[in-house]
Amino acid sequence: MICVIMQPTYFPWMGYFDLIDQSDTFVFLDDVKLASQSWMVRNRIKTSNGPIFLTVPISKEKNPENILIQNALLANDKPWRKKHLKSIYYEYKKSGFFDEVYPWAEKIINYPTDSLSEFNIQGITLICNLIGLNPTFIRSSTTGIIDLTKDIKLVEICRRYNCEIYLSPQGSSDYLEKKNPGGAFQDSGIDLYYHNYAHPTYPQSHGVFTSHMCILDLLFNVGLENAMKIIRSGRKANYHYLEFRKKILNISQ
Furthest-apart CA pair in the chain: how many Å?
53
H or E element in which residue 6 lies: strand 2-6
Three-state DSSP at 27 gives: strand
pLDDT band at 62 (very low <50, low <70, confident <90, very high): low
pLDDT category of residue 9 using cuts at 50, 70 and 90:
very high
Which pLDDT belongs to residue 8? 98
pLDDT score recorded for residue 202 = 97
Evaluate if residue 63 carries a pLDDT over 60: no
Task: Express each pLDDT in 105-153 by its tens digit.
Answer: 999 999 999 999 999 999 999 999 999 999 999 999 999 888 778 899 9
pLDDT value at residue 1: 96
Q: What is the pTM of this model?
A: 0.95
Q: Residue 4: its pLDDT value, please?
A: 98
pLDDT band at 253 (very low <50, low <70, confident <90, very high): low
Helices (H), the chain: 14-22, 80-92, 98-109, 116-131, 150-160, 173-176, 215-222, 224-233, 241-247
Cβ-proximal residues to 235 (8 Å cutoff; 6+ apart), any chain: 18, 22, 196, 197
**Confidence at residue 179, expressed as pLDDT on a 0 to 100 scale:** 84
pLDDT of 65 > 90? The answer is no
Q: Mean pLDDT for the chain?
A: 94
**pLDDT at residue 80, rounded to an integer:** 97
Q: Give the per-residue pLDDT at 64.
A: 58
* CA separation for the pair 117, 29 (Å, rounded): 10
- On the question of pLDDT at 36 being above 90, the answer is no
Percent pLDDT > 70 in the chain is 97
Look at residue 147 in the predicted model and tell me its pLDDT: 73
Q: Residue 27: what pLDDT?
A: 98
Confidence of residue 181 (pLDDT cuts 50, 70, 90): very high
- What value does the CA radius of gyration of the chain take, rounded to a whole number of Å? 19
